[in-house]
């Protein structure tokens, strides 16, 4: 071919996909939280039909104290401490009269023992003085007790009295609720509000117990066992690497 001859080159036509305008991200797929919540309730009930509170107790007072101790502590550790605690001080009156140093020594291994001992002693005193040694069956009265918040009140009222006053929100419920797309919040009060709107009230108590058990057994913090989870087919796995 002569040096100056023109060459015809076939150029493939490339069709570019339309790109979204600058500054705008593609819309995220909307999650039907009502539908997912219904499935979660159903699957948890099938997986853990008989699960109850992991804190060992023989009375509302014992569960109240155990729940206060469980803050920033495992239930297993609390269950190791409470037998000796209640052997020495079995009633609110006895607990209120306990020397603070002795109380701190018994609960030392649960962490934050000074603040916990102070709250347990003050709470026991109020129970003995204002409620004849009985744990009140009213959520407002419960949360007015020293060291008692909504989580503790919901645990005691739901487990001991069968009262669905709210949904217990601990670290496990927080983690699972976010992964399942049931809430976008990290604040316990806001998460509880979302769950109370999604879960039928007659399921609040068992739902929380089952979520906590599932969080310990399957949906763990570091390495969730998704292949073993009965909810893997519909769980959006938000935040799961």
Beta carbons within 10 angstroms of residue 126's beta carbon = 17
Which residues, 6 or more positions from 178, have their beta carbon under 8 angstroms from its beta carbon?
184, 186, 238, 239
**Region for 60 from its dihedrals, namely left if φ exceeds 0, alpha if ψ lies in -120 to 50, beta otherwise:** alpha
Instruction: Please indicate whether residue 170 is annotated as part of the active site.
Output: yes
Long-range contacts, 191-197 (Cβ 8 Å, 24+): 192/150, 192/166, 192/167, 195/37, 195/167, 195/169, 196/166, 196/167
Does residue 39 carry a catalytic annotation?
A: no
Q: Which of 151, 184, 193, 194 is catalytic?
A: 151
Q: Which two tokens stand for residue 24?
A: 């705008």
Catalytic-role residue among 170, 184, 190, 206:
170
Task: Give DSSP secondary structure letters for 33-53.
Answer: HHHHHHHHHHHHHHH-TT---
Are the beta carbons of 234 and 39 closer than 8 angstroms? Answer: yes
| Residue 84 vs residues 24, 66, 88, 181: alpha-carbon distances, Å | 61, 12, 6, 41
d(CA 202, CA 162): 10
Which tokens hold the place of 75?
């239930």
Distance (Å, whole) CA 15 – CA 236: 33
Active-site annotation, residues: 151, 170
């Amino acid at each position: 071919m002569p040096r100056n001859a023109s060459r015809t080159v076939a150029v493939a036509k490339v069709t570019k996909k339309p790109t979204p305008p600058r500054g705008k991200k593609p819309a995220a797929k909307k999650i039907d939280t009502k539908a997912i919540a219904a499935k979660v309730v159903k699957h948890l009930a099938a997986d853990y039909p008989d699960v109850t509170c992991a804190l060992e107790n023989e009375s509302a007072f014992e569960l109240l104290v155990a729940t206060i101790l469980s803050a920033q502590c495992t239930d297993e550790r609390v269950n190791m401490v409470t037998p000796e605690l209640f052997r020495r001080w079995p009633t609110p009156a006895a607990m209120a009269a306990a020397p603070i140093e002795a109380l701190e020594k018994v609960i030392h291994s649960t962490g934050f023992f000074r603040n916990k001992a102070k709250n347990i002693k003050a709470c026991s005193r109020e129970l003995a003085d204002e409620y004849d040694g009985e744990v009140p069956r009213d959520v407002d009265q419960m949360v007015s007790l020293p060291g008692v918040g909504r989580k503790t009140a919901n645990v005691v009222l739901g487990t001991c009295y069968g009262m669905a006053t709210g949904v217990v929100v601990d670290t496990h419920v927080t983690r699972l609720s976010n992964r399942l797309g049931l809430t976008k919040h990290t604040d316990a009060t806001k998460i509880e509000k979302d769950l109370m709107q999604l879960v039928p009230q007659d399921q609040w108590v068992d739902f929380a117990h089952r979520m906590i058990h599932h969080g310990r057994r399957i949906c763990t913090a570091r390495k969730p066992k998704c292949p073993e989870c009965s909810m893997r087919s519909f769980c959006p796995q938000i935040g799961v690497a």
